[in-house]
Structure 1
Amino acid sequence: MASHRKLRAAAVVCAVVAVAGPAPAVTWAAAPAAVPASAPAAVQASAPAAVPAWVAAAPAPAPSPDPFANLTPDEIAERAVTATQSATSLRMTGRVVADGEPLDIDFAVNDRQECTGVMKIGGGTAELRRVDDITYMKGDEAFWRVSMASQGMPEAQIDATIELVKGRWLKIAPGQAGSGDLSGVCDLKGLLADLDEEERTGLVRGPDGEVDDTPVATLVKKKTGGETTTVSVSEEGKPYILKMVKAGGDEPGSMLLSDYDKPVDVTVPPADETVDLSKLDQGTAA
């Protein structure tokens, strides 16, 4: 997924600017075990009553009509991509791998390039917020260390930078180093750019399933080299994509998409809890 690289960029962008300048599980219910005749009366009395033969033989409820019955897999994918890209907001949760590094994310994003969420990488955690074209990032020490070390920053410089940003939000304004990469993380259309025409053709339809109790149509695409992408499309309401899984290849991952069209509330951190990126190279916090 191209979005993997955008998310990975967010995890290391502050190190870059410091160097350069400043399928759902199915639970099967077991049938009640028979109670031995020798069991105490109290146990036998509490045992579930036997199901009458006429009830057991009753036909299962008819499944809901398939909303995609007359569509090819590629046509289903086209409708799903159109619906998903037209959403005003959504939430993404899951794990992706980029540059060999697993990254866990939980982001709410809207179509005004605003977002709020959490990312975890290398044992560290960071919060990210973007509003009014300003990006705010607050990481714990483990996050900053793994991010800056991955860029080859000297240990002394890592220590000095962490001391400046410890417990505070890094404020990154438009035009500052790294702002473009971080804005991409909050670009709803950009994060869904993987769903281009090439990626959504040549699909086959797999068995229907469920994602968070919502029935879904499953679309599968296999590429040479063993890479497989599976997309789950809602069969209720708008045909939103509810799950994407990529197995094999260099960038495996799994992503759940939810909270479609729900408001994304982003709070600006207090000024006295921020560090302006432009001040880092001056050795001051402001």
Structure 2
Amino acid sequence: MASHRKLRAAAAVCVAVVVTGPVPAAAAAAPGLAPGPAPLAGTAAPTPGDPFAGLTPDQIADRAVEATQSATSLRMKGRIVSDDQPLDVDLALNDRNDCTGRLKIAGGTAELRRADDITYMKGDETFWRASMGSQGMPDGRIAATVELLKGRWLKVAPGQPGSEDLGGICNLKALLDDLDRDKDEDRDGTRDPDRGTLTRGRDGKVGDTPVATLVRKKPGGETSTVSVSREGEPYILRTVKTGGDQPGSITLSDYDKPVRVTVPPPGETVDLAKLNRGDPA
């Protein structure tokens, strides 16, 4: 559970800036999550007043996935690795595919907003140069594009190259659907024999919220830890992976809080179609 495959694939699209056109299928291969805090160790008896008393780790996981998938909005913060490139993400998103937040890569920063299926991205020079350079864009075109986008938002409308893929990072339903992938693998008989067994670790806290800790250890030293709220709805509050080649951490918060997206004014945007044709902005 909580594999974040779709989140990692969507992050790859942000690295491959949409002004270069659609991302090849290879670019959407699932990279890993970046280093995060170590999981809580050991196997412990539940703490008093435990809402999961009498449940197996798999039953707790089922409840957590069901609750988390029912969320209408949340905030997602953490680090993702795409093609060995760390990408920091801090986004608030809802079930209408609206989102707002920031991305950081290669020392550069970009703001991302999406509303009414239109995506807006505003990056600093470092962000745009790193993104375009990673796609092999000629230096001359990079310089001209960076100058055109300085202080302005790149606007990507539905149907334009990269719109659907770029919007994937704001697709709450798709990201949360992926939490249940392990269970689907069991149902269709293709369960990965090396994915390990889910156990319950020591209870702890994420911020001020007490959590139950689910741990899955795989052959080769990879450990995945999921922190499930013990107060209110059993939402997933943090996922951590250590060991293996894709360690990392994602924290989920602000469940069901409104996501308010401010659409940039037309005078501060550059339309992707005009950019690709070389028309004046």
Q: TM-score range by the shorter chain?
A: 0.7 to 0.9
> Which of 262, 266, 280 is the matching residue for 2:275?
280
Larger displacement relative to structure 2 (234-243 or 196-205): 196-205
Note closer, same or farther for the CA distance 1:108–1:19 as it changes in structure 2 (3 Å cut): closer
Cα RMSD between the aligned structures?
A: 2.1
Q: 1:78 aligns to what?
A: 62
Q: Using the TM superposition, give the Cα deviation of residue 192 of structure 1 relative to its aligned residue in structure 2, in angstroms.
A: 2.3
Taking the aligned partners of 2:244 and 2:23, their CA distance within structure 1 comes to 31
Q: Distance in 1 between matches of 2:173 and 2:270?
A: 29
Change (3 A) 1:145 1:235: same
Partner of 1:176: 160
Tell me how far apart the structure 2 counterparts of residues 253 and 231 of structure 1 sit (CA, whole Å): 12
Q: Name the TM-score, length of structure 1 as normaliser.
A: 0.81
Q: Are the aligned partners of 1:91 and 1:260 in contact in 2 as well (CA < 8 Å)? A: yes
CA distance in 2: counterparts of 1:24 and 1:248, whole angstroms = 12
For residues 193 and 151 of structure 1, the distance between their equivalents in structure 2, rounded to whole angstroms, comes to: 30
For residue 245 of structure 1, report the CA deviation from its aligned partner.
Answer: 0.8
TM-score by length of 2: 0.83
SS at match of 1:280: helix
Q: Is the 8 A contact 1:219 1:232 kept in 2?
A: yes
Is 1:271 the counterpart of 2:266? The answer is: yes
Segments of 5+ residues of structure 1 without an aligned counterpart are 26-62
Does 2:83 match 1:99?
yes
Partner of 1:119: 103
Give the deviation of 1:6 after TM superposition.
1.1
Partner residue in 2 for 1:54: none
Given residue 235 of structure 1, which amino acid in structure 2 is its aligned partner? R
- Does the alignment pair 1:131 with 2:111? no
Alignment length, in residue pairs?
247
The 1:282–1:19 alpha-carbon spacing in structure 2 relative to 1, beyond 3 Å, is: farther
CA contact (8 A) 1:10 1:182 kept: yes
Quote the residue 2:228 is aligned against: 233
Q: Shift of the alpha carbon at 1:285?
A: 4.1
Letter in 2 for 1:269: P
Q: Distance in 2 between matches of 1:285 and 1:216?
A: 54
**1:147–1:24: structure 2 CA closer, same or farther, 3 Å change rule?**
closer
Spell out the pairing of 1:1-286 with structure 2 (5 A cutoff).
1-2=4-5, 3-17=7-21, 64-198=48-182, 202-286=197-281
Larger radius of gyration: 1
Q: Write the letter of the residue equivalent to 2:262.
A: T
Distance 1:230 1:196 in 2: 15
Counterparts in 2 of 1:158 and 1:24: CA distance versus 1, 3 Å: closer
Which amino acid in the other structure matches residue 60 of structure 2? Answer: I
1:155 CA displacement: 0.9
Find the residue that maps to 1:65 and give its secondary structure: coil
Q: Report if aligned partners of 2:217, 2:223 keep a CA contact under 8 Å in 1.
A: yes
The letter of the residue matching 2:246 is E
The alignment partner of 1:195 has SS state of helix
Change (3 A) 1:15 1:229: farther
Secondary structure at 1:96 match in 2: strand
| Cα pair distance change 1:199/1:223, threshold 3 Å | farther
1:199 Cα deviation from its structure 2 partner: 6.5
Q: Do the aligned residues in 2 keep the contact of 1:243 with 1:257 (CA within 8 Å)?
A: yes
Q: Distance in 2 between matches of 1:142 and 1:258?
A: 29
Identity of aligned residues (%): 65
Q: Give how far 1:164 is off.
A: 1.5
TM-aligned CA distance change 1:203 to 1:134, over 3 Å: same
The question of whether the paired residues in 2 share the 8 Å contact of 1:18 and 1:280 is answered with no
User: C-alpha distance in 2, partners of 1:93/1:190?
Assistant: 17
Deviation at 1:250, TM superposition (A): 3.4
2:201 and 2:239 map into 1 onto residues whose CA distance is: 14
